[in-house]
Structure 1
Amino acid sequence: MRSGGSALSWRRWWRSAGFAWAGLVYSYRVQANFRIEVWAGVLALGLAVFLRAPLAPIGLACALVLSLELLNTALEALVDLASPGLHPLARVAKDAAAGAVLVASLGALLVGVTVLGPPLLALVR
């Protein structure tokens, strides 16, 4: 489907933003992991605000995990559409996408411990 109008059109931008929002809403409703990751991100950002720790690394780590989870959801849907039956390559595609989310989640955990750990320890002491 061709998009109508100028690339700088507000109407076109709002239409595109609507499609993106629909993808976010779908993923939140259907994917339990996405919901968990959203709330873990909210908790991490809230803790960063409370501890007066830098928000940028926490926000970027959260955005990376959530973005990869959305891509994982999209890839799973495409694989299911293209290969409704069991196929070894379909499994590889799904597992690799899930692995990308896992790697990003472990990286986000490392960022969280590094950025939030020292101020949290100082508060406890």
Structure 2
Amino acid sequence: MKKFTRGFGYAFKGLWYAAKTQLNFRVHLICTIIALVLGYILDISVTEWLWIFICIGLVLLTELLNTALELLCDVISPEYNEKIGHVKDISAGAVLVTAITSLVIGAVIFLPKLLLLIHHAA
């Protein structure tokens, strides 16, 4: 059991490291808070909440994996290496694809509700 709980400590240590050192991870955390607050204010459905949580999880996951891969690449090849550069670029591209997909899903969920809210306020 001690080994199991120690694993959580390592996981939280990794999350803290990413939040402390990675600007993009912090940006994604801010977007997470915005999405959660908007979801609460706009009273989104259970299904919409599931989509939001899936998007949040996937974006944070890909950002964490990107960070880990970049660190590993820096250890393997501290000097410039063209192939390592490609690995880092592809990893960053995975984050971008996930973030754009999540942005589109968020727009599909939130925009109609926000437009309706604006229309009723006018």
- TM-score, with length taken from structure 1: 0.90
- Asked if 1:47 is matched to 2:41, the reply is no
Moved over 3 A (4+): none
Structure number with the higher helix fraction is 2
Aligned residues: 116
TM-aligned CA deviation for residue 118 of structure 1: 1.2
Higher RCO structure (Cα 8 Å, ≥6 apart): 2
Root-mean-square deviation (CA), in Å?
Answer: 0.8
- Asked if 1:119 is matched to 2:113, the reply is yes
Unpaired runs of 5+ residues, structure 1, are 1-8
Contact 1:37 1:65 in 2 (8 A): yes
Unpaired runs of 5+ residues, structure 2, are none
1:73 alignment partner AA? T
1:76 to 65, 70, 79: 70
1:38 alignment partner AA? L
TM-aligned CA deviation for residue 12 of structure 1: 2.1
- TM-score, with length taken from structure 2: 0.92
> What percentage of aligned pairs have identical amino acids?
38
